[in-house]
A and B are shown apart, each in its own frame.
Chain A
Amino acid sequence: QKEVEQNSGPLSVPEGAIASLNCTYSDRGSQSFFWYRQYSGKSPELIMFIYSNGDKEDGRFTAQLNKASQYVSLLIRDSQPSDSATYLCAVNKWGSYIPTFGRGTSLIVHP
């Protein structure tokens, strides 16, 4: 089992819909969770981080963390074509500051 797993996609959603991106991790002691967005040919940019169980909202983005089930998800409301990118999940294991990245999920928002 990979340490951080994401479905590579592509996930295709219509404009205005909710995009749901999922990530599972293997280390139960993981403490910090991050979502990055990477446009083609560009470097990743941080969208948000979450440390505690539950939901964290920032604008159109909501991160959801469930440590018992070892998954973290990212919801994008009112998806726009400009949201089309690869979304990377990153997890810091307990006691480590080195993030482990998933392979990313490609999101396509079509008009």
Chain B
Amino acid sequence: GAVVSQHPSRVICKSGTSVKIECRSLDFQATTMFWYRQFPKQSLMLMATSNEGSKATYEQGVEKDKFLINHASLTLSTLTVTSAHPEDSSFYICSARDQGQGASGNTIYFGEGSWLTVV
């Protein structure tokens, strides 16, 4: 299947600082990427949909000024958690949509996820 790489896998930051998470599609072009957050033993929560070259679409209740998303190229989207606080500690997962023809069309592949701990 397609490969989506996410970096860093784990990050610890101090309260009040910002942290950037990168998501790359390695073997396909992804015009659309998604960012999810998942708390332990909870389901995936879609935060925003990121479209290359345009502003991200945020889900209700997600602060767009706190979670900055940039999708500047067809293979890279970034999520920046600004002024992080301990309650932002979570597992952040990106995914990318493979629009390839045939069987892979519109299939979503996930990155490895990033554990964020804010201390």
Contact = CB atoms under 8 A, between A and B. Distances in A.
A68 interface: no
B116 to A, nearest CB: 14
Interface residues of B, number: 20
Nearest to A8: B43
Contact of B108 (A41, A90, A104): A90
A97 B106 CA distance: 6
Interface string A73-108: 000000000000000101010000111011110000
Contacts of A45: 110
A31 B44 CA distance: 21
A97 B110 contact: no
A43 B107 contact: no
The main secondary structure of chain A at its interface with chain B is strand
Interface residues of A, number: 20
A98 B59 CA distance: 12
A32 B108 CA distance: 11
B1 interface: yes
A43 B111 contact: yes
A44 B49 contact: no
Interface of B: 1, 6, 32, 34, 43-44, 46, 49, 91, 93, 97, 103, 106-113
Given A46-B1, A102-B43, 6 more contacts: A34-B107, A36-B110, A44-B93, A46-B109, A49-B103, A101-B44
